Amino acid sequence: MNLFYCMGGGWGHLRRTRVFIDLLNISPVKVITASPLAERLFSSEELVMIDPNLSGDRKQYNQRLSEIISAENPVAFYIDTFPCGILGELKSVVFSPETNLYLVTRRVKWDNYRALACTMPFEKVFLLEEPEPGQLEYLRLCSQEVVTMELDYPVPERAEPVNFKRPMWLVVHGFVEEEVLSLVHYARDEAKLQEQWPEIVVISDCEIREEGVEWRNEYPASAWFPHAARIFTAAGFNTIQETRPYRHKQKIIPFPRKYDDQFWRSRE
């Protein structure tokens, strides 16, 4: 069994893990997560759910995690982004000598995460974008091999056609409603300045009820990209990867994150 540890606050961790699994054709897999959004990307047989309420009790959480790892007895354990877990929770987990550890990571604000880092004997690190210098130094010390790779995000088609009488402006963001609304308001202000009257469509897991805005909770949002005249997004890793072919019509608004440098990514 190939076990993936995918604990994080948003959709991006899950999406990145799905694309990575498919690209490397890894099988069989199970994904450890606390997010109900995982059901959109993985079958029930592929999921091992952890009660999100356990995150407040480190002892119970680690006990549950250890039980999962022991029961699955993985030949490979893949960690998404944070080498010792988003809270440093993997420091106390004991892995079997037969389990190979792998890290699939993007750029991390290393000064913010450094205190949580521990020595992990990674067989290989898959580096998905340019790391901070301190992060790269750590990865080289903890891993037998660091390889760079790009994820190939599929370009899906919508089952239903996208038909609008006016140009469609797309807002794509999730998880934080205030940020979604700030993107919506920015799109509206842009439309007024340019004296345009587009159809504004919001693709988000946050329910947005704004006059003159159509909200859709759809996956994948990238199926809408070819049909949009303008695209407004944040600068999360997956978003930047998936919108690369549409950069000419995209407006990127980075948001502050503790461990993710969206401002760096928006300049690349």
Architecture of domain 2-148: 3-Layer(aba) Sandwich (3.40)
Residue 9 clears pLDDT 70, i.e. is over it? no
Average pLDDT over residues 202-222: 90
Domain 2-148 identical in fold to domain 168-267: yes
**pTM higher than 0.85 for the full model?**
yes
Mean pLDDT of 90-99: 90
Give the tens place of pLDDT for each residue, 161-199. Answer: 677 889 999 999 988 999 999 999 999 999 999 999 999
Domain 168-267: CATH superfamily, name plus number: Glycogen Phosphorylase B; (3.40.50.2000)
CA distances from 243 to 27, 46, 156, 259 (A): 28, 28, 13, 22
Q: What pLDDT does residue 13 have?
A: 87
Mean pLDDT of 131-135: 97
What are the distances in angstroms from CA 239 to CA 9, 13, 127, 142? Answer: 15, 12, 17, 29
Question: Would you kindly state where each structural domain of the chain is located, as residue ranges?
Answer: 2-148, 168-267
